[in-house]
Chain A
Amino acid sequence: MEANDSEFYKKIGFLCGIEVHQRLATKEKLFCSCSTGMPPLSEKPIASIRRHQRAVAGELGSVDLSAQYEEFKDREFTYNIYGDNTCLVEIDEEPPHELNKEALSLALAFSKSLSMEIIDEFQVMRKSVVDGSDPSAFQRTILIGLNGSITTPEGLKVMVQKLFLEEESSGIESSSENSIVYNTDRLGIPLVEIDTDPYIPTPAAAKSVALAIGMLLRISGGVQRGLGTIRQDVNVSIRGGARAEIKGLQELDLMDKFIMNEITRQMKLLEIKDELKQRNPKIHTPKDITEIFADTSVKIIKTQLAKNGAVAGFRLEGFSGLLGKEVNPDRRLGSEISDYAKAAGVHGIIHSDENLDRYGFSDDEKANISKALGLGKNDAFILIAGQKSQAMKAASLAVGRAEACMEGIPLETRGVANTDLCTTRFLRPLPTGSRMYPETDVKPIGATKEMLDSATANAPDSAKEHGRLKAQLSSAALADSMLLSPRLGLYKRVASSLKIDSSFVANILLQKFTELKRSGFDVDSIPEASVMDVFSQYADGSITKQAVDELLKALSSGKRDVPGLVRELKLERIRGEKLLDLVNSTTKEAKSGQPDEVRRLIMSKYRLNVDGSELNEMLLGEAKT
């Protein structure tokens, strides 16, 4: 499979659309006045609260399937609360404030640059999220624009169906069997979601569309940058298959590989379906077969039984050999079924296509399993160990997934299983429309003429931006790379707010950053505010060009206080009178007293503190007098 073989993708009925989620760089959150800047990793939460959630009926009376499913998991959610980043609104203890106008105007500007039709009256909706990532059990979201398009640098035009303005969810701190700990610092940061139509022709094109959308957003200067501030979801299906939504791809480079693996997975599952058609398969009801394992030496079972646990097992008639069939690198049909079982809180499943001897099953046990489940030679079986109710719950979920093999492929939301292998795993069933209901605490907002005019004026335009960069920067090549750079926004902020040579800034942000990254410095972790501080120290003459490098190195190890670092690393620039004193004293000490020697002596000692050109001027002046 090649990422750009459009004939092949046409043949298999490939459908693919992407969703780009990008955090906005507004001052405040979408529905409250909390800071959108993330606290340093070292900051401890000021408090934590614990909550439970339930599925509730939506506006049209039905409870959404995927919401119900998550509830099934019976989890407790802990929310960490941060001083400047969490108020009562995020933790669902106070109604939302008014919609953030700055965020709305950015979303409108993006809609305009994507040539979208803008909705007349924005209705704030609640989208049920019962994975706990929102303490209110819903995410607020607004449909802003419809039916636009974007053209990639390769000239491919793709329809952009929808643009939403919504709240960022909480970040997962940790998760265990029955509880998840979330950080609420990022919860409620404004986010735009941009969805294309499902007709992106190839996996390679999907990657290129994602790049083009990302560039347009960055040009606006109104978006956050850094790890996790932009992420892509991909929807993929092939003829006869089913839509799978792969969530949270952060490495754009791997997007095409993930898509190709999803295609393979669906093809393999269709092969299994076809094979099953020949076999007259049937999934039997799970049984409690704990008693077989009274004296077992199978470790997984033994530990559960020691905790008063149970073993559930069921027969998959006609499935012999299929559970072990590989559907993706290092993933078999058994792994697909196991994902479902795990949702009930068990560690996984044991199935008949695995090496049972390695688990430690005795021959007696194997015979007893066969007897208890009534296995024939074309059959397979699945065992699940856990607390009794948990094991039975897990078994019924596994039965559901196994039954789906005969129908084809279930509609699923999937997440990354293994980044290196570019494989995914089942997260939950695909949500449906019934998860949406109106946010009654916020009034609908009409799109006014002023809003739309200002959106048109502020719509990011990549051609114009390129022109501006070319005019500012010394070389066209530098302008080209700056346009594509994730640091474009930062560049624009530095260039517009400080009196500083634009090309110097661009060179630092492009070449210097790449160079430092290659040498192992984690420059991506430096917050924009700190980079800004460095340039401002340089702009007001407090440090030299050479000191900029040193500061970036120090900042990439997690330090934040730039003025402090300047003192600590002794990077204060020596200039004016002080430099003159230094020149005079060095001249006296120097053997020859010639400017060249003085320069060499000073620079060998004060390379980071002395600006070469200022020193030259001074030496030339000295020489003249």
Chain B
Amino acid sequence: MYSEEIQKLLDKNGIKVGDQIMLSKGATQLEGELMPKANIGGKDTVIIKMKDGYNVGIKLTSDLKIEKLSSGVANIGSFPKVALKHDKSAPNVTLIYTGGTIGSRVDYETGGVSMLLKPEELLYKVPEIQDIANISVDMLMSVASEDLSYMEWVKIAESVTKAFNNGARGVIITMGTDAMHYTAAALSFMLRNLDGPVVITGAQRSSDRGSSDGFINLVSATRLAAFSDIAEVGICMHEQSSDGRCIFIRGVKARKMHTSRRDAFRPINDKPMAYVDKNGSISYSKGYNKAEAKKPSTLELKTKFDPKVALVKVYPNSDPKIIDFYIREGYNGIIIEGTGLGHAPVSTKHDEFMWLPHIKNALDSGLIVGMTSQCLYGRVHPNVYKNLRLLSNLGVIYCEDMMPEVAQIKLCWLLGNYGKEKAKSMLGSNIAGEIHRRLEFDEFLV
């Protein structure tokens, strides 16, 4: 928004954003199009796009004159679209759009990148996915992934179910990447007896730039949804910084491991379920759930969710009283991100850093306490060291090779759908591929 003074000046001259204007100040004369003002930079600055495409900012001063040359064609923010095709002979794939960088564009309000794109606009940039599959678009929401709560996850899960019930053989979900792996884990638990691929994809670079990774990610995701026989939820993103293969990572084993690189998503304690080559061919790893094309769909939704489970990280000098806070707040579970094999400070020389009594307090108050490792890679173990034994003897559940955030989501889901007693017994056993009995040598730093 322009400042009041500038707006006044514009109104006085009957000028709107998009009009061709002549701006003069001292000896300077500039001709061009009046741009909307983003909420960054000086508020008292008029932004004009010159004929050569450059934007420049001119400060409001008493000698600034603005003259309207002609009315603008209101095309700022408009975007070319593609007609949606319906090729009935191609595999049916539903694309559920939820927001994120993959559908982002410049926002003049914040000056940043916003998520306003219509699916027809998204497909305009990647028209070839309509040649791969018969795509129906479900414009579900436009929310940044870090702003998604379990209530949106439920909506997404319901949309996936609807899509399969309507005859889709696979589903693509486009979303923001920040919290993508949380959504992937939640959907992995919520969608029971899945019988087709649910492929979550996005972009690390906004698609308003020609170098966006989103194009290839979306094409690869479409191939997986249209042709793979994987009946699991997974994330499909770049394998490397190069635009080569994409990897399909199991939803409960995927993690964003870099703030900005294209190949940020990595499998943790796992290998990718599949690889999609640039030329479209899909190669598979062993050990995934195969789709059997059952009719009618066997998909069962279990979407109840108890958000009262905390994720707590221990670290040197950490204050264990945080546990008491969660007990007071009526939490039903705590997942601890321990050190190494699953440690918390329990034999310290200083009482104020001793976690043991507080954890005991939580367990005595009926909370479920799970132990994971901030190492992320590897399995926690209840017996190797004395400190571990102290914790496991109390009744802390060791969560095997589950990532901390997956354990947290799993416990929320278990508490919601099965109640406390069952949840306690189910936390440590595998439901959706989140626990592997064997960790293979080549599953580290993949």
Q: Which residues of A contact B (CB under 8 A)?
A: 49-63, 67, 71, 88, 91-95, 117, 119-123, 125-128, 130, 135-138, 141, 143, 146-147, 164, 432-438, 440, 443-446
Contact = CB atoms under 8 A, between A and B. Distances in A.
B53 A440 contact: no
B210 A56 contact: yes
Contacts of B106: 59, 437-438, 440
Contact of B57 (A51, A88, A120): A120
A143 B207 CA distance: 25
Contacts of A437: 106, 208
Contacts of A136: 205, 209, 211
Contacts of B205: 92, 136
Contacts of B53: 58, 125, 127, 432-436
Contact of B56 (A57, A91, A119): A119
A172 to B, nearest CB: 18
Chain B contact patch, size range: 35 or more
A424 B414 CA distance: 71
19 contacts: A51-B242, A56-B212, A60-B76, A62-B80, A92-B209, A119-B57, A121-B41, A125-B55, A137-B211, A141-B54, A146-B28, A434-B53, A438-B38, A438-B55, A443-B41, A444-B40, A444-B42, A444-B45, A446-B41
B356 to A, nearest CB: 42
B75 A56 contact: no
Nearest to A433: B53
A88 B205 CA distance: 13
A49 B125 contact: no
Contacts of B56: 119-123, 143
Contacts of B75: 60-61
Contacts, number: 151
Contacts of B241: 49, 91, 93
B334 to A, nearest CB: 35
A53 B262 contact: no
Nearest to B111: A440
**Dominant secondary structure at the B interface:** loop
A94 B243 contact: no
A391 B300 CA distance: 53
Contacts of A137: 209-211
Contacts of B80: 57, 61-63
Contacts of A67: 210
The 5 closest A-B pairs by CB, nearest first: A121-B57, A436-B53, A137-B210, A444-B41, A433-B53
B208 A52 contact: no
B51 interface: yes
Given A52-B243, A58-B53, A123-B47, 12 more contacts: A49-B241, A54-B212, A63-B80, A125-B54, A126-B209, A127-B53, A130-B210, A137-B209, A146-B30, A432-B53, A436-B52, A438-B106
B347 to A, nearest CB: 42
Contacts of A61: 75-80
Contacts of A141: 54
B211 A92 contact: yes
Interface in B57-100: 57-59, 75-80
A443 B54 contact: no
B27 interface: yes
A95 B56 CA distance: 22
Contact of A50 (B78, B113, B207, B243): B243
Given A121-B45, A123-B54, A125-B55, A56 B243 contact: no
A476 B41 CA distance: 50
A72 B261 CA distance: 27
Contacts of B208: 56-57, 437
Contacts of B111: 438, 440, 443-444
B281 interface: no
B125 to A, nearest CB: 6
B72 to A, nearest CB: 10
A435 B210 CA distance: 11
A450 to B, nearest CB: 16
A88 B28 contact: no
Contacts of A120: 42, 45, 56-59
B366 interface: no
Given A67-B210, A127-B53, A147-B27, A121 B42 contact: yes
Contacts of B211: 51, 53, 92, 135-137
B260 A123 contact: no
A147 B28 contact: yes
A119 B210 contact: no
A60 B77 CA distance: 7
Interface of B: 26-28, 30, 38, 40-42, 45, 47, 49-59, 75-80, 106-107, 111-113, 125, 205, 207-212, 215-216, 240-244, 259-262
B256 to A, nearest CB: 14
A29 B410 CA distance: 46
A136 B204 CA distance: 12
A125 B55 CA distance: 7
A143 B205 CA distance: 25
Contacts of B59: 120-121, 446
Nearest to B207: A56
Contacts of A88: 260-261
A56 B49 CA distance: 19
A217 to B, nearest CB: 21
B234 to A, nearest CB: 23
A423 B113 CA distance: 44
A138 to B, nearest CB: 6
A122 B56 CA distance: 6
Contacts of A95: 260
Contacts of B45: 120-121, 444, 446
A262 B212 CA distance: 38
Nearest to A161: B52
Which among B41, B55, B58, B77 has the highest number of chain A CB atoms within 10 Å? B55
Nearest to A58: B53
Which among A127, A440, A444 has the highest number of chain B CB atoms within 10 Å? A440
Which among A92, A143, A434, A445 has the highest number of chain B CB atoms within 10 Å? A92
A241 B216 CA distance: 42
Contacts of A49: 240-242
A46 to B, nearest CB: 13
Contact of B54 (A94, A436, A445): A436
B49 A121 contact: no
B16 to A, nearest CB: 15
B261 A93 contact: yes
Contacts of B42: 120-121, 444, 446
A569 B54 CA distance: 55
Contacts of B240: 49
Nearest to B75: A61
A465 to B, nearest CB: 27
A121 B51 CA distance: 18
B65 to A, nearest CB: 15
A61 to B, nearest CB: 5
A57 B77 CA distance: 10
Contacts of B27: 117, 147
B50 to A, nearest CB: 8
Contacts of A71: 210
A143 B397 CA distance: 61
A53 B214 CA distance: 11
Which among B42, B49, B111, B210 has the highest number of chain A CB atoms within 10 Å? B210
A201 B205 CA distance: 46
A96 to B, nearest CB: 11
Contact of B28 (A50, A63, A117): A117
Contacts of B52: 433, 436
Nearest to A59: B106
Nearest to B110: A440
Contacts of A434: 53
A291 B56 CA distance: 58
A143 B58 CA distance: 12
A125 B56 CA distance: 10
Nearest to A437: B106
Which among A54, A55, A88 has the highest number of chain B CB atoms within 10 Å? A54
